[in-house]
Amino acid sequence: MKQTLGKAEKLKSKILISKLFEEGRSVKSFPLKLVYLPLTNASVKNQVAFSVPKRSFKLAVDRNYLKRLLREAYRENKHLLKDEKNNYALMFIYLGRKKASLEELQNSVQKILTKFMQQE
């Protein structure tokens, strides 16, 4: 599996994102929450999006920095999603009030992805 996060893997559809929050299930591992929904279209890979709330981080610079770290942590650990049959729409939501380091986020992403794979 390539360790890239290409355009096809990014979740951008507003319809799919709203459906994700209405019908999706979630897994938590502080400071992250993963909301997921199985995709019906078999040709699409896992699609992922990242969110950092404005309530916790007022400055856009801080929100963008955390999203960048989350993307990097996911990119390096996406090999843990080894289910070839099912594809998912994933949304990582940052729940913490303080900035986390890359190492902390990588550990959290690993934990949350292993929990996710055990649930499915």
What average pLDDT does this structure show over 86-96? 93
Q: Which fold has domain 7-119?
A: Ribosomal Protein S5; domain 2 (3.30.230)
Specify whether the CB–CB gap between 76 and 106 falls below 8 A: yes
- Which three-class secondary structure state does DSSP give residue 44? coil
Residue 84 predicted with pLDDT over 80: no
Higher pLDDT pick, 29 / 85? 29
Other Cβ atoms less than 10 A from the Cβ of 66: the count is 21
Kindly report the pTM of this predicted structure: 0.92
For the CA atoms of 42, 86, 5, 109, the dihedral, rounded to the nearest 10 degrees, stands at: 160
Instruction: Give residue-wise pLDDT tens across range 98-116.
Output: 999 999 999 999 999 999 9
Domain boundaries, the chain: 7-119
Q: CA–CA separation, 78 vs 99, rounded Å? A: 22
Q: CA–CA separation, 44 vs 10, rounded Å? A: 11
For residue 53, the model assigns a pLDDT of 96
Cβ contacts of 71 within 8 Å, gap of 6 or more: 5, 50
Alpha carbons within 13 angstroms on the beta-carbon side of residue 60 total: 0
